[in-house]
Amino acid sequence: MRTQIAIIGSGPSGLLLGQLLTESGIDNIILDRVGKDYILGRVRAGVLEEGTVRLLNEARSAARLQAEGLPHDGFSLAFDGRDHRIDLYGLTGGKRVTVYGQTEVTRRRQCRATRFRGWFFLRELREGWCHSPYRL
């Protein structure tokens, strides 16, 4: 198989990159050393940075994120018997994060890859499968 780009890792970033490249007409393959069940079952962080949310919107893949995600503008630290609010929105010129499980982002990308065959090729890498001096 020949491809223009090989993406190592089929987590949220690798799958999203594969989708964006495919939609731009760039052939790609996504390789991973673990299987789909492990990838989908792995619990991931629950906070998405603003840039990730923007890319998911650009990829037309954020409908559920927009409906269920919780915009988060800051947090509080409790010490000395008081809450101390850290206003991330104010301190960063209006940027925020969105509370939404990255596991769900991965699941949606994997489901989409499965539905549209040929979009991504996901392979489990086995010891010795890749002839490279670098361990994947």
> What do you get for the CA distance between the two ends of the chain, in Å?
19
- pLDDT tens by residue, 31-45: 877 777 777 777 777
- Per the confidence metrics, is the pTM higher than 0.95? no
Instruction: Tell me the domain boundaries of the chain.
Output: 1-46+101-136, 58-100
Tens of pLDDT, residue by residue over 68-93, are 899 999 989 999 999 999 999 999 99
Q: For 85-123, b where at least 16 C-beta lie within 10 A, e where not — what string?
A: eeeeeeeeeeeebbebbbbbbbbbbbeebeeeeebbebe
What CATH number matches the domain at 1-46+101-136, 3.40.50.10540, 3.50.50.60, 2.120.10.70, 3.30.450.20?
3.50.50.60
How far is 110 from 104, CA to CA, in rounded Å? 10
